Amino acid sequence: MIDQTVFADGAAFTEGRFRPIGQAGISLLDWGFTRSDLTYDVVHVKDGCFFRLDDHLDRFLSGIERLRLAIPESRDDIARILHHCVALAGLGDAYVAMAASRGRPMVPGSRRPADCNNHLIAYAVPWIDVIRPEIQARGAHVHVAGVPRVPDASSDPTIKNYRWGDLTQGLLEAEDAGCDTAVLLDQDGYLTEGPGFNVCLIEDGTLVTPDRGALHGITRQSVLELCAELGMPAHVAPVPASALETADEVFLCTTAGGIMPVARIGGRILGNDAPGPLSLKLKERYWQKHREGWHATRVDYMSLPAVELIG
């Protein structure tokens, strides 16, 4: 019988074994750590159901293929491991991550990616909002960073990764400016994304979201589907920085938080310094659809794996 209290802070899968999150780790020589040579994805669980699990697995496996990684687990194996992580932690609402790392060179000192032992990492921890709920309620204050987004040709933003040097610099700028978070422009002055989220602008009832420098977000795709359902024009297109000066509303969207309205961007106050009406309408519809079972996969809480405890 498993003592699930040891998994209260979360459960992880590393080195082929399940462990409490506090006992999980990787080698200091792992290229995922030393070079950020990995891809990852995050799916959320709400009210005991994964949201768009198949879409997250599709994107994760696409990234693995494009980075020429080869983990031993199949798609079904990965899904089962994610279910086990959530079940071990006993979480109804969760942040669930999967990562495929290049791993540690099997030939000491080798610089050949082919010499590394690629491997899967997964974990589930209690729900995370990248913008705290009280900040979402009053509308986020967003800094337009001076540091440009890394060019798409140098680091493909559609392969989810941990190479956050530019995004972290944007967050430091935001902190200095007294803002909650940041969005980045590319070197040509077009809007891209922020640290872990896509950006959406609404002007004259039409939604637009950047076509460059940004992950093809699954929450963003959900927003586009909701717009179609509500009869609201929406498209993915180039978004110049000047659009931030004319937009009626702005919101951020991500797996870890959903639709998160913005009240201020740069030095500009939007509307009444509060979340905009269309942003709130989309936010409410997004969570309502969750409650209705939209794209839901119920977590298998009954089947628990063998676990390894250290010490």
Q: Identify the domain boundary among 75, 95, 127.
A: 127
63 and 123, same domain (yes or no):
yes
Alpha carbon of 143 to those of 20, 187, 194, 199, 225: distances in Å? 37, 17, 10, 13, 28
119 and 210, same domain (yes or no):
no
The bridge status of strand 94-101 relative to strand 181-183 is unpaired
Residue 244 included in any domain: yes
161 and 253, same domain (yes or no):
yes
Report pLDDT for 218: 98
For residue 252, what are the β-bridge partners? 199, 260
Q: Identify the domain boundary among 127, 144, 173.
A: 127
Report pLDDT for 307: 77
245 and 150, same domain (yes or no):
yes
Residue 157 included in any domain: yes
123 and 150, same domain (yes or no):
no
Residue 299 included in any domain: no
Report pLDDT for 311: 53
Report pLDDT for 196: 95
The bridge status of strand 38-46 relative to strand 94-101 is antiparallel
Tell the burial category of 309 from Cβ atoms under 10 Å away from its Cβ (0-12, 13-18, 19+): exposed
145 and 112, same domain (yes or no):
no
121 and 137, same domain (yes or no):
no
What does the angle CA 195 – CA 62 – CA 258 come to, to the nearest 5 degrees?
Answer: 35
Residue 311 included in any domain: no
The parent domain of residue 22 ranges over 4-127
Residue 293 included in any domain: no
Please tell me the total count of domains within the chain. Answer: 2
183 and 213, same domain (yes or no):
yes
155 and 259, same domain (yes or no):
yes
Report pLDDT for 1: 58
* Dihedral sign from CA coordinates of 163, 167, 173, 175: negative
Rounded distance between C-alpha atoms, residue 60 and residue 90, angstroms: 24
CATH code of the domain containing 29: 3.30.470.10
Number of H helices, E strands in the chain: 7, 15
CATH code of the domain containing 199: 3.20.10.10
Per-residue pLDDT of the chain (311 residues; tens, 9 = 90+): 566 789 999 999 999 999 999 999 999 999 999 999 999 999 999 999 999 999 999 999 999 999 999 999 999 999 999 999 999 999 999 999 999 999 999 998 899 999 999 999 999 999 999 999 999 999 999 999 999 999 999 999 999 999 999 999 999 999 999 999 999 999 999 999 999 999 999 999 999 999 999 999 999 999 999 999 999 999 999 999 999 999 999 999 999 999 999 999 999 999 999 999 999 999 999 999 999 999 999 999 998 887 776 65
Give the tokens for residue 214.
């940004």
pLDDT digits (tens, 9 = 90+) for 205-264: 999 999 999 999 999 999 999 999 999 999 999 999 999 999 999 999 999 999 999 999
C-beta separation of 234 from 208 below 8 A? yes
227 and 270, same domain (yes or no):
yes
Residue 109 included in any domain: yes
Give the tokens for residue 102.
């290049």
For residue 48, what are the β-bridge partners? none
Q: Identify the domain boundary among 127, 146, 168.
A: 127
40 and 167, same domain (yes or no):
no
Report pLDDT for 304: 84
80 and 143, same domain (yes or no):
no
- The string of DSSP codes covering 173-213 is HHHHTT-SEEE-B-TTSBB--BTTBEEEEEETTEEEEESSS
Rounded distance between C-alpha atoms, residue 122 and residue 224, angstroms: 29
Residue 298 included in any domain: no
Residue 309 included in any domain: no
- State the amino acid at position 208 in one-letter form: V
